Amino acid sequence: ELMESPEVQEQLKQMVSAHWKNWFDEKIPALNNKTPRQSAKTRDGRELLEALFIQYENFDANKSNKYNPDINDLKKELGLL
């Protein structure tokens, strides 16, 4: 009931948006503790990013969650599209 509150939904949306905005500059273990921006600059890093995006897409396919990232938006920000 609380989770369906418009105020809670808006707060969640803002938190998720902030997470994905910061994600580009966070060290990710799956990227050998480099940031997505750093990884996008090398061939090996781009391969790791693609593998990570596949994991995200597989997770998204199994969950109906409106807070999941748009993979194409992530790729565009990193210059991968």
3-state SS track over the chain? CHHHCHHHHHHHHHHHHHHHHHHCCCCEHHHCCECHHHHCCCHHHHHHHHHHHHHHHHHHHHCCCCCCCCHHHHHHHCCCC
Asked if pLDDT for residue 68 goes beyond 90, the answer is no
Separation CA 71–CA 30 (nearest Å):
16
Cβ distance 52 to 23 under 8 Å? no
pTM of the full structure: 0.80
Asked if pLDDT for residue 60 goes beyond 80, the answer is no
pLDDT at 9: 86
Pairwise pLDDT comparison (2 vs 32), residue with the higher score: 32
